[in-house]
Structure 1
Amino acid sequence: MKKILSIAFILVFFWGSIQKNLLPVFGADNQSPGTLYSESAVLMDADSGRILYEKNGYEQRPMASTTKIMTCILALENGKEEDIVTASEYAASRPKVHLGVRKGEQFRFGDLLYSLMLESHNDTAVMLAEHLEGDVETFADKMNQKAKKIGCRHTFFITPNGLDATKKTGENEQVHSTTAADLARIMRYCIKESPQKEAFLNITRTQSYTFWDIEKKRSFSCNNHNAFLSMMEGALSGKTGFTAKAGYCYVGALKREEKTLIVALLACGWPNNKTYKWKDTVKLMEYGLNEYEQKSLLEQGTFSLPETLVVENGQAEKIGGVASVPIKVKTIQDKTLLMRKGESVRVIYEGKTKLSAPIKKGSCVGNLKYIVGDCVYLSRPVYTAKSVKAIDYKWCLEKIAKQWTFTFPDNMVE
């Protein structure tokens, strides 16, 4: 019996050792930033839109007040700073965090943007939405349209403030939600692509702002709650969020060393873990700064192309000969991309291997594609360097005549 127990103990010990060795060590190499608190996270290169790292980055989750970056950019693009906004009864009834507006109170449109982004006031978001589109539902439709336009495929807005919400659409029930990847895309649009990107950055970087209602009866002070702005050199912008369903959320941007990085976090802990989002953000930003560098795609990529392509039915040097046309690669402006150390560029030719006459000089016959991972980041056209005419009756006669041309011997000439 003792012998059996000893054998069993040894087997358990070795099985535990095997299991330990089989378990992946997350973050053990330089291709991972290490363990994160967030259930969903993305690190994006804002210049190219390339996702450098993701953890469940395509899972749809509630995003709380990070919603307000979309509300803000739509307000900047479609509203006017000097517009007068009137608080409705519905806006005044929104829960905390709120500005505490009263029905009928009026405010300057531009002032409310600081209330929205610095203090994340829920009533302010509703006021802006109602002012721009008449009601929250119509504004949410505009939010969804904008999301799709900038490439978000798994985002559904119901509210302008990010409070947890569900909506029945047909037979399905949809949740106010996004993915970390889509949230990063929205932030990228706000800081890189929108015609109002500078205004967005100015608002979200403001540390404090004070304003009055139109009648000068009450004053309001707003303070920026984006602690990341003082955590890392080059911090650009960001927005926090929290609801019971979403947990702590954050999206932020940083620019340093010719790199612009975006971090998006969803479900990054629940009370009392308010600081987890800052730890994950710093960890991902440092990973991007340390492990990635700007590289020239043209310098990194190598390729080989045939000097010529065969041209069927093309005029050659002689009847029965093979016609061909030289091809060249069009010179275009080089593009840099944030790439991990040791990462390589694949260059493939996608195009025609044979042509059919007639061929005009400068005709595009294909493209050289520069691929990193699964994405094409640069495409260079390949074109013909000269024209090739098709075989016709006249050409045939000329070639036949040339082949049959001969000279008489001298003794046959009188």
Structure 2
Amino acid sequence: MKSILSLCFTVVLLSSMTLPAVNTAKAAEQKSVELAENARSAILIERDTGAILYEKNSDEKLPPASMTKIMTMLLIMEAIDKGELTLKEKIRTSEFAASMGGSQIFLEPGEEMTTEQMLQGIAIGSGNDASVAMAERIAGSEEGFIDMMNKKAKELGLKNTKFQNATGLPEADHYSTAHDMAIMGKELLKYNLITKFTGSYEAYLREDTEKKFWLVNTNRLVKFYPGVDGLKTGFTNEAKYCLTATAKKGDMRVIAVVFGASTPKERNAQVTKMLDYAFSQYMTHPIYKRGVSLQKVKVSKGSSKTVTAVTSEPISVLTKKGGNVKDLTQKISIKKNLVAPIKHGDKIGTFSIVKDGKVLVKSPIVAKETVDRASWWEMYKRAFGMFSSAD
């Protein structure tokens, strides 16, 4: 087991009043609040901390329908973040992708659209054809992409999720839960760019052609609930009406998930009730944004001798409305004896916020840049320099 080097320091947040911070466990007293009585399952979490504010049957395995595309979009955003894909790259549509039924943007075999346009088609129009076209671009085939989806689910610790396609079209043994969808949404929202797409109510594709295509967001709350800017709806006869929604007010962003509502109106009503509850009862105290540099860490056998340790996601503390926090201890634990190669985004440590001995927040620390393994010549020069200086 790798040893851990821990560095601790204390930050005092000045306040006139202190209320206990909410831990990442269940924050709401389930018996005293019912927010989704007409949904099969539901969950409400605060994005930065992952604190559960409400849940109902949140671990029940159910068909997620097109909410599946949250994972599809997550893998697309990861590829963009790693430099493996650009928004302007043109994606060619295969015959297989063009053959997808259900919601679609009516791609034709051989038609090309940019990644940006494909994302519009997925996020706004729920295009199954666009989803498969992007899956094929990233993994070579939808089958390969499905393997990536399930691998990512495992990496996120999602024990009740299994994907059989990139679209959410009905298929045996394709399932998820409200809890797992919320975690996928939390991960997707690390990429600020995504809400440019999921938060758009309408857009046009093929604008300068005779086949101009109008997209209208299937998530109507984007237009009718202030602060909602995502994420994805879903519907099949089996799944009924589903929605993973996110909204931000001030410093606080929450994620609400509903499975199995009987109508779109009922689905939106349940989500609205959860969002109202979150913003009226809780508040977020930001500590760090995503990508904040924490320290330089030594790397052995690398093309660079150090790597920058950064926050992997926004870090905040959650309290009840009107509460403040102070006397928080921030703990940075970095893996000892890091050895190249290290890739951008690799986990190299853990950031924790502790109050009175209780861990309130725990978040991965990642590498800001890639550090390749040093060549034998670089290693030789370093060794020679070390011996020379010893003389």
On whether the aligned pair clears a TM of 0.5, the verdict is yes
| CA pair 35-148 structure 1, distance change in 2 beyond 3 A | closer
Secondary structure, counterpart of 2:118 in structure 1: helix
Kindly provide the CA deviation profile for residues 83-107 of structure 1, in whole angstroms up to 9, marking residues without a partner as x.
2222222112211211222222222
Written as runs of structure 1 = structure 2, the 5 A alignment for 1:230-245 is 230-245=223-238
- Residues 126-182 of structure 1 deviation map (CA, whole Å, 9 limit, x = unaligned): 11111211111110111112222233221111111111112xxxxxxxx11111011
Aligned to 2:74: 73
Q: Which has the higher contact order (CA 8 A, sep 6+)?
A: 2
Superposition map of 1:4-403 within 5 A: 31-34=32-35, 36-78=37-79, 79-166=85-172, 175-191=173-189, 193=190, 197-212=191-206, 218-269=211-262, 273-294=263-284, 336-339=317-320, 370=355, 376-377=359-360
Note if contact 2:201-2:222 (Cα within 8 Å) is conserved in structure 1: no
Shift of 1:338: 3.4
Query: How far apart, in 2, do the equivalents of 1:147 and 1:28 lie?
Result: 29
Letter in 2 for 1:124: A
Counterparts in 2 of 1:295 and 1:87: CA distance versus 1, 3 Å: closer
Structure 1 residue 225: Cα displacement: 2.2
Write the distance in 2 (CA, Å) between the matches of 1:49 and 1:337: 10
1:63 to partner: Cα distance: 0.4
Deviations 1:63-82 (A, max 9, x none): 01111122112113213222
RMSD of Structure 2 on Structure 1 (CA): 3.3
Instruction: Give the 3-state SS of the residue equivalent to 2:256 in structure 1.
Output: strand
CA contact (8 A) 1:295 1:339 kept: no
1:227 Cα deviation from its structure 2 partner = 0.9
CA shift in 2, pair 1:57/1:28, >3 Å: closer
Instruction: Identify if the C-alpha distance between structure 1 residues 161 and 146 changes in structure 2 by more than 3 Å, giving closer, same or farther.
Output: same
For structure 1, which segment, 90-99 or 279-288, has the greater mean C-alpha deviation from structure 2 after superposition? Answer: 90-99
Aligned AA (1:137): E
User: C-alpha separation between the residues in 2 aligned to 1:234 and 1:216?
Assistant: 34
Question: Does the CA-based 8 Å contact 1:58-1:179 persist in structure 2?
Answer: yes
For structure 2, the 5+ residue unaligned runs are 1-27, 80-84, 287-314, 329-351, 363-391
1:244 maps to amino acid: N
User: Could you tell which deviates more after superposition, 65-74 or 41-50?
Assistant: 65-74
**Which moved further from structure 2: 73-82 or 259-268?**
73-82
Contact 1:370-1:378 at 8 Å conserved across structures: no
Q: Is the 8 A contact 2:135 2:166 kept in 1?
A: yes
Amino acid across the alignment from 1:377: L
Would you say the 8 A contact 2:204–2:213 is kept in 1? yes
Query: C-alpha offsets along residues 324-383 of structure 1, whole Å, 9 cap, x if unaligned?
Result: xxxxxxxxxx962234899xxxx9xxxxxxxxxxxxxxxxxxx996599xx94259xxxx
Shift of 1:31: 3.1
Q: Give 1:382's aligned residue.
A: none
3-state SS of the aligned residue for 2:192? helix
Is contact 1:33-1:287 (8 Å) kept?
Answer: no
Question: CA contact under 8 A between 1:206 and 1:224: conserved in structure 2?
Answer: yes
SS of 1:198's equivalent in the other structure is coil
| Counterparts of 1:186 and 1:156, CA distance in 2 | 13
d(CA) in 2 for partners of 1:292, 1:134: 44
Letter aligned with residue 39 of structure 1: R
Q: How big is the shift at 1:278?
A: 0.4
Q: Is the radius of gyration larger for structure 1 or structure 2?
A: 1
Counterpart of 2:257, as a letter, is: A
- Alignment partners' CA distance in 2, 1:231 and 1:68: 22
